[in-house]
């Protein structure tokens, strides 16, 4: 487990979406939690190659994340490790992005998972059997009620 | 930081099991429940329930207190909060990023179509 899964339907062909995900020019246009600027974007798109992106959020704080490309199947799939540089959320996590051609363009499925160690990951996936959404719903219900 | 990571992994590992999630859901409705009451809705034996409680306890998701022969189980929200913070933080980051990615790719698509004509 522990993942966050998001799906987007995009009116653009998969190759264009894939370029947006992997080129520094593309990344500079969308990466970040708000409209703050991307200050640096580097990608070395080959297995074992690294990416590095630094951005400044609107609160003025700069963040940098980097990682290593693990799987590259243009224009369908991209897997990379993920780590924050300044020690916020220490440890490595994993980002997986799948692009599927649909009539209107591309369906993008994005997953960010915490447990990255293969053994742990497999064990957890077996345990999960797709009940992730249920857990997320459950987690937010419980926490909303308890924490609000 | 190591502790934080280990704690978070334990929390998520504990939440993997459906019976354990059901136990937490029960406690959410009725906090401070005895172990025997907690075991009632499940078709598993008490020792199995105890094992699940051990895992939840180890993950810090519940606390147990014993008065006489009755063990009372309570929810402990802190680890759940940490797990949710983790999910929410990335959700905020990626929701906005992916929306902007979509907008950017759609602009590029429109450009590509114009130049092809």
Mean pLDDT, chain B, integer: 87
> What SS3 state is found at B38?
helix
Per-residue pLDDT at A122:
44
Q: Which of residues 44-63 of A touch B (CB under 8 A)?
A: none
Query: Which residues of chain A neighbour B101 with C-beta distances below 8 Å?
Result: 8, 10, 17, 20-21, 30, 108
Q: Per-residue pLDDT for A115 more than 80?
A: no
Contact B89 A146 (CB under 8 A): no
Give pLDDT tens digits for A51-64.
Answer: 999 999 999 999 99
Phi (first) and psi of residue A34, to 5 degrees: -155, -165
The string of DSSP codes covering A91-107 is S-EEEEEEEEEETTEEE
User: How confident is the model over A84-106, as a mean pLDDT?
Assistant: 87
Per-residue pLDDT at A101:
97
User: How confident is the model over A48-75, as a mean pLDDT?
Assistant: 95
Q: Which residues of A107-136 are buried (b: 16+ CB within 10 A; e: fewer)?
A: bbebbbbbbbeeeebeebbeebeeebeebb
Chain centroid, CA A110 distance in Å:
6
Contact B100 A106 (CB under 8 A): no
Task: Select, from the ranges A2-11, A84-93, B92-101, the one with the highest average predicted confidence (pLDDT).
Answer: B92-101
Per-residue pLDDT at B36:
87
Nearest to B104 among A26, A91, A120 (CB): A26
Q: d(Cα B54, Cα B97) in Å, to the nearest integer? A: 40
Contact B101 A106 (CB under 8 A): no
Give pLDDT tens digits for B59-108.
Answer: 899 999 998 989 999 998 888 888 778 778 888 899 999 999 999 999 99
User: How confident is the model over A19-31, as a mean pLDDT?
Assistant: 96
Query: Which residues of chain B neighbour A142 with C-beta distances below 8 Å?
Result: 24-25, 28, 80
Inter-chain CB pairs, A–B, below 8 Å: 125
User: How confident is the model over A117-129, as a mean pLDDT?
Assistant: 43
Per-residue pLDDT at B89:
82
Of A133 and A78, the one with more pLDDT = A78
For residue B11, the chain A residue with the least C-alpha distance is A2
Query: Which residues of chain B neighbour A105 with C-beta distances below 8 Å?
Result: 106, 109
What is the DSSP code (8-state) at residue B41? T
Residue B70 Cα, gap to closest chain A Cα (Å)? 25
Q: Per-residue pLDDT for B35 more than 60?
A: yes
Confirm if B13 and B61 have CB atoms less than 8 A apart. no
Q: Per-residue pLDDT for A128 more than 70?
A: no
Q: d(Cα B61, Cα B78) in Å, to the nearest integer? A: 8
Q: Per-residue pLDDT for A132 more than 50?
A: no
Per-residue pLDDT at B5:
65
Tell me the sheet residues that pair with A83.
Answer: A66
Mean pLDDT, chain A, integer: 81
Tell me the sheet residues that pair with A8.
Answer: A108
Task: Please provide the size of chain A in residues.
Answer: 148
Q: Per-residue pLDDT for A88 more than 60?
A: yes
Per-residue pLDDT at A11:
96
User: How confident is the model over B19-41, as a mean pLDDT?
Assistant: 88
Q: Per-residue pLDDT for B56 more than 60?
A: yes
Lateral strand order in the sheet of A105-113: A3-10, A105-113, A93-102, A77-84, A62-73, A50-56, A38-43
């Amino acid at each position: 487990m522990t993942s966050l899964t998001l799906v987007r339907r995009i009116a653009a062909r998969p190759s264009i979406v894939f370029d947006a995900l992997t080129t520094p020019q593309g990344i500079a246009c969308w990466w970040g939690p708000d409209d703050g600027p991307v200050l640096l974007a580097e990608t070395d798109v080959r297995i074992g190659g690294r990416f590095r992106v630094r951005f400044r959020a609107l609160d003025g704080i700069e963040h940098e994340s980097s990682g290593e490309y693990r799987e590259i199947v243009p224009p369908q799939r991209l897997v990379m490790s993920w780590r924050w540089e300044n020690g916020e959320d220490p440890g490595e996590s994993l980002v997986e992005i799948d692009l599927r051609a649909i009539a209107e363009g591309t369906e993008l499925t994005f997953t960010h998972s915490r447990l990255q160690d293969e053994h742990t990951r497999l064990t957890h996936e077996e345990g999960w059997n797709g009940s992730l959404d249920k857990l997320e719903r459950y987690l937010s219900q419980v926490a909303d009620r308890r924490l609000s | 930081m190591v502790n934080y990571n280990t704690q978070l992994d334990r929390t998520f590992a504990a939440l993997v099991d459906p019976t354990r999630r059901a136990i937490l859901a029960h406690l959410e409705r009725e906090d401070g429940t005895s172990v025997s009451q907690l075991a009632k809705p499940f078709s598993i034996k008490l020792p199995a329930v105890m094992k699940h409680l051990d895992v939840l306890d180890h993950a810090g998701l519940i606390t147990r207190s014993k008065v006489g022969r009755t063990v009372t189980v309570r929810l402990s929200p802190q680890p759940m909060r940490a797990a949710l913070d983790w999910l929410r933080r990335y959700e905020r980051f990626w929701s906005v990023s992916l929306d902007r990615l979509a907008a950017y790719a759609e602009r590029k698509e429109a450009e590509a179509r114009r130049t092809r004509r």
